[in-house]
Amino acid sequence: MKGLIFMHMADALISPAVGAATYAASAAAAGISIYRLESEDRLRPELTSKRLPTMAVMSSLVFAGQMVNYTIPGTGSSGHLCGGLLLTALLGPWAGFLSMAAVLIIQCLFFADGGLLALGANLWNMAFYGCFAGYYLIYRPILGAKRLKAPVKLTLASVLGCVLSLQLGAFSVVIETSLSGVIELPFGAFLVLMQPIHLAIGAVEGLITAAVLVFVYNARPELLPDLQGSESSPGKFSLRSTLAVLAIVAAVTGGGLSLLASGNPDGLEWSLFGNSEAGYSENMGLDEDAYGIDSPASRTAGGIQEKTAFLPDYGFAGGSGEPLGTSVSGIAGAAMVAVLAGLVCLCGSLLRRRGVGKK
Q: Write the pLDDT tens digit of every residue in 230-248.
A: 455 677 899 999 999 999 9
Q: So what's the pLDDT on residue 321?
A: 60
Residue 92 zone, left/alpha/beta (φ > 0; ψ -120 to 50; rest): left
Beta bridge partners of residue 287, listed in sequence order: 290
Cα distance between residue 272 and residue 184, in whole Å: 9
Q: What is the dotted CATH code of the domain comprising 11-358? A: 1.10.1760.20
SS3 readout for 122-188: HHHHHHHHHHHHHHHHHHHHHHCCCCCCHHHHHHHHHHHHHHHHHHHHHHHHHHHHHHHCCCCCCHH
For the chain, give the number of residues: 359
Residue 4 zone, left/alpha/beta (φ > 0; ψ -120 to 50; rest): beta
Q: So what's the pLDDT on residue 3?
A: 38
Q: So what's the pLDDT on residue 348?
A: 61
Cα–Cα nearest to 102, from 78, 126, 133: 126
- Please tell me the pTM assigned to this model: 0.93
Q: So what's the pLDDT on residue 232?
A: 53
- Mean pLDDT, the chain cut into blocks of 10 residues (359 residues total): 57 95 98 89 74 95 96 95 97 96 97 96 97 98 91 97 98 95 85 96 97 96 80 78 97 96 93 92 87 91 95 83 89 96 78 54
Distance from chain centroid for Cα 45 = 27
